[in-house]
Structure 1
Amino acid sequence: MRRVTQSGLLMVIGVIASIAAVNGIYLNFVKPSLRFPILAASLVLLLMGAYGVWEDRRHGPQEDASRPEDDGHGHDHARGPRIGWLLVVPFLLLGVVAPPPLGSYSAAEDSGLVTVTNADGLGALPPGDPVALTLAEFQGRALYDTDRSLENRRVTLVGFASPGRPGEWVLTRMSLNCCAADGFAVKVAVEDAPPVGVDEWVEVVGTWKTAPLAPEGGADPPLPVLVVEDATPIAVPENPYE
């Protein structure tokens, strides 16, 4: 693989990565805070590729004079391994078919309880009726808030349906520490909810089904329950993760 070809591959990868960062596809794989590092890395790849092409044109194609083109065994050392072309395949696929965000398959083996073990830092529940919360905040308030801030308050939660007990579904949202490779599920049980297909996204309005608080630092408690008033199908959010 000649240097100009290697440089061209760098530029292709840089272009596709930058497009993914601009059009939002990157949100299927990493947290929003990584957008600008991705753009910066894309720019570096583009500059490296452009410099390599410029150098090749300025000096002409050059091979490594220290290596013979043929070692007498039919191996051409003037070219790099063709398998190097495979490096660009994942990026080309990303430009053609964007893989979906993590869904019910990834959530299936996860208990859905976040690592929050207390209600520290939650503060007072914001005003509004209903008030919009993340699934993680709903869990924290339902399981550990001694002020019982969810009592008699209508809330709005957004997530997708994942399988629960037979004939039931659980409102779910995947969360990331950094990227999709370390994603984990956050779940809220629902009651009186209409049937919803697996992986279908819904905006749910309801009230917390009052239950005893969970002991801090103890074994995993049951999922908190939302008694559903309304469940509206929605499109996948621009950022599918919490």
Structure 2
Amino acid sequence: MRRTFQPLLLLLTGAGLLRVSLFSDIGLRYVKEGLQPFLVASGITLCALGLIGARRDGLPLLGRRQEHASPQSDGGTQSEHGHDHSHGPRIAWLLLLPALALLLFAPPALGSYTAARDNPKIVEDYERFEPLAAHGPAPLSLTEFIARAQQDDKQSLKGRTVLMQGFVTPGPDGTWDLTRLLVACCAADAQSLTVTVHGAKAPPADAWVKVTGTWHPRGALGTYSAALALDVATIERIPEPPVPYIDRAPAVG
């Protein structure tokens, strides 16, 4: 690529990173929240390197262009060996595509397409379970619902209405799952948590919903035979949360 294109590419990439990490929460679609400061630092560094390169090469945006060409009979810019080094590998132009994508069209968070092609994750063992709220639907994450269904020998879910939220993953024959994705670092290592929903028509794929319901009685609560399923009572459409993923941290109860 031309030398003048190199700093421009650095500036575009840095600006794209800052757009998704400093000026919005879009970056949380790709990395866990704790890594957002590193995206900001990377964006600032790339922009700084781009500006330094632009100043070195005398780009018009920073003032009068510097002339690096040495007088030659054909007016070209050549090295002392007579070869033109103003171009690098042409494949480097492909780096322009992700840079423009970050600036103009930020890809969405992972959703039902990923979850439908993933093996559901088995949650870590809980050391203890806190008592559920005495009245009203008990708010639970999908992680805790799954852990209580499979691990709680006191069967705390029995007969209790719970409140959970996640996105819709369509299944076969009109079935659907309430889903969340867990990440350890970024979207590349995401794994799914799913709870099958009974008693309601599937909302659109990837729609975020809040549901209330009771454990679907199949298998034995407190054992790994317990169904990871819910008999739904109410469904409410909600906006996608700013942090769409769950941090894959060890469960403590």
Q: Shorter-chain-normalised TM-score: which range?
A: 0.7 to 0.9
- Give the equivalent residue in structure 1 for 2:25: 24
CA gap of 1:209–1:119, structure 2 versus 1, over 3 A, is farther
CA distance in 1, matches of 2:171, 2:87: 55
Aligned-partner SS, 1:187: strand
Structure 2 gap ranges (5+): 59-63, 70-76, 247-253
Structure 1 runs (4+) greater than 6 angstroms displaced:
none
Uncovered stretches (5+) of structure 1, i.e. residues with no partner: 71-75
Q: Is structure 2 residue 57 aligned with structure 1 residue 56?
A: yes
Corresponding position: 1:239 with 2:220: no
Specify the SS of the correspondent of 2:243: coil
Q: Percent identity?
A: 37
Bigger mean CA offset, 134-143 vs 152-161: 152-161
Could you say if the C-alpha distance between residues 111 and 222 of structure 1 is closer, same or farther in structure 2, counting changes exceeding 3 Å?
farther
Instruction: Work out the number of aligned pairs and report it.
Output: 232
What is the Cα-based RMSD across aligned positions, in Å? 2.7
Bigger shift: 114-123 or 143-152?
Answer: 114-123
Give CA deviations for 1:172-219 in whole Å, capped at 9, x if unaligned: 12222222222111101122223323222211011223551465xxxx
TM-score by length of 2: 0.79
**Equivalent position to 1:99, from 90, 96, 107:** 107
> What secondary structure is seen at the aligned counterpart in 2 of 1:9?
helix
Equivalent pair of 1:67/1:78 in contact (CA under 8 Å): no
Higher mean Cα deviation, 203-212 or 38-47? 203-212
Q: CA 1:222–1:185 in structure 2 vs 1: closer, same or farther (change >3 Å)?
A: farther
Contact 1:69 1:78 in 2 (8 A): no
Alpha-carbon shift at residue 162 of structure 1 (Å) = 1.4
So what's the TM-score if we normalise by structure 1? 0.82
1:180 is aligned, of 180, 184, 187, to 187
Aligned twin of 2:201: 194
Matches within 5 A, 1:117-132: 117-125=124-132, 129-132=136-139
- The separation in 2 between residues aligned to 1:109 and 1:26, in whole angstroms, is 23
Distance 1:181 1:25 in 2: 16
Classify 1:61/1:25 alpha carbon distance in 2 versus 1 (closer, same or farther; 3 Å). Answer: farther
